Structure 1
Amino acid sequence: MNELSVSRRWVMGLYFTVLSFGIIFLHLLPLDTLPARWVMPDLLMGFAFAWTVRRPEYVPVLLLAVVFLMADLLLQRPPGLWAFLMLLACESLKAQIGSLRVTGFPVEWLTVAGMILGVTLAYRLILSILLVEMPGFGLALMQMGFTILIYPVIAGVTHAFMGVRKSNPGDLDTLGDRA
């Protein structure tokens, strides 16, 4: 059984990687040549938080680091800054797993919304301190708001279609340890 669990962990990690690069690919498609008046939610952030809250063993820190560093490089963001902030947020969520497991979805949503707010504002603050040119603050707020609003949909898709469900207290995780 343990070999099956470890193989499931690897398969789900691969699944997350393919999902992440699919989202990045959609960002890179030249669908519109005009300047953006509104922005899409950050689906990569939403799925990373949903997977981290539901099954943190499926998204180890090295996998998250590689995915978000590649996203920084491919989306032409300052290399490593967004990846670092997202790693801090995901690891902070992993540290809160025990309390998030027993609470309802509204508390999870509020916690994730706080992480989204924190990562977005920290990113903007660091870029402004370093005098890096950024898109308008309104677009960043819009993306942050849309990401917070779409999180329940992302969590539902993650639960219903991808099979990444919250573990219950006392369940065994994929490594055979108590969750």
Structure 2
Amino acid sequence: MAEGARDSVWVWRGLFVLAVMVMLFLRILPLRAEAGSLPGPDLLMCLCCAWVLRRPDHLPALLIAGVVLVEDMLLMRPPGLWAALMLIGTEFLRSRAAFSRELTLVSEWVMVAVVMLAMLLANRFIIALTMLPQPGLGLTLVQFVFSILAYPVVVGGLRLAFGLRKPATGEVDAKGRPL
């Protein structure tokens, strides 16, 4: 009975939303008030990419877009821009989820790094095109590097905290559907 409750897609979606809420709460806390500090990794981007590659059926596109839109509003970024880019990036990764089953963590890491870089460069290009103020390229690249370095930690955290792993080839869910 407990196995069936844990296998429910809604439980996984609730865990994702809970993890996002905790990350957003910690991100908006005024813990580092000093100017000139380095930006931290974008853990929400890492979480979305890792979760979509492990269990693409758990995260619908609207859920990803919704939580990133809330993050946009809380962090006072252009509303919807980063949400749209995250949606495009995660849908690209979702379409390669079956291919990534056989990839090692290093190969998956490189694939995710390329997708993250494309999302960050597209974001900078669109913001520059609309002539909005944006942080320097150096800070954006530092955040990108920290995000890439945080990705394996997020993958390990998902494995340890939630037991989230890639499905094995030929694995089926409780209803007999292939994963």
TM-score by length of 1: 0.93
| Offset of residue 173 of structure 1 | 3.9
The whole-number CA distance in structure 2 between the counterparts of 1:22 and 1:63 is: 16
- Pairing of 1:64-75 with structure 2 (within 5 A): 64-75=64-75
**Conserved in 2, the CA contact under 8 Å of 1:50 and 1:154?**
yes
Q: Which runs of 4+ in 1 moved over 4 A?
A: none
Matched AA of 1:119: M
The residue type equivalent to 1:88 in the other structure is I
Report if the CA contact (8 A) 1:8-1:174 is conserved: no
**How far, CA to CA, are the matches of 2:174 and 2:80 in structure 1?**
30
Aligned residue in 1 for 2:63: 63
8 Å Cα contact 2:5-2:11 kept in structure 1:
no
Q: Classify 1:175/1:15 alpha carbon distance in 2 versus 1 (closer, same or farther; 3 Å).
A: farther
Which residue number corresponds to residue 34 of structure 1?
A: 34
Q: 1:22 to 1:37 in 2, by over 3 A?
A: same
Q: Indicate the percent of aligned positions where both proteins have the same amino acid.
A: 39
Q: How far apart in 2 are the matches of 1:140 and 1:165? A: 30
- Give the deviation of 1:27 after TM superposition: 1.3
CA distance in structure 2 between the aligned counterparts of 1:175 and 1:48, rounded to whole angstroms: 25
CA RMSD of aligned residues (A): 1.8
Residue 178 of structure 2 aligns to a residue whose secondary structure is coil
The superposition leaves residues 126-147 of structure 1 with CA deviations (integer Å, 9 ceiling, x where unpaired) of: 1001101011111110000010
The corresponding residue for 2:84 is: 84
Report the counterpart of residue 119 of structure 1 in structure 2: 119
Contact preservation (8 Å) 2:101, 2:169: yes
Deviates more, 1:35-44 or 1:71-80: 35-44
**Counterpart code for 1:60:** P
Q: Structure 2 length normalisation: TM-score?
A: 0.93
Q: Which residue identity lines up with residue 168 of structure 2 in the other structure?
A: N
The reply to whether residue 9 of structure 1 matches residue 12 of structure 2 is no
Aligned residues of 2:86 and 2:119 also touching (Cα < 8 A): yes
Between Structure 1 and Structure 2, how many residues are aligned?
Answer: 178
Amino acid in the other structure paired with 1:34: E
What is the CA distance between 1:102 and its match in structure 2? 1.3
Q: Tell me, which stretches of 5 or more residues in structure 2 are unaligned?
A: none
Q: How does 1:111-150 map to 2 (within 5 A)?
A: 111-150=111-150
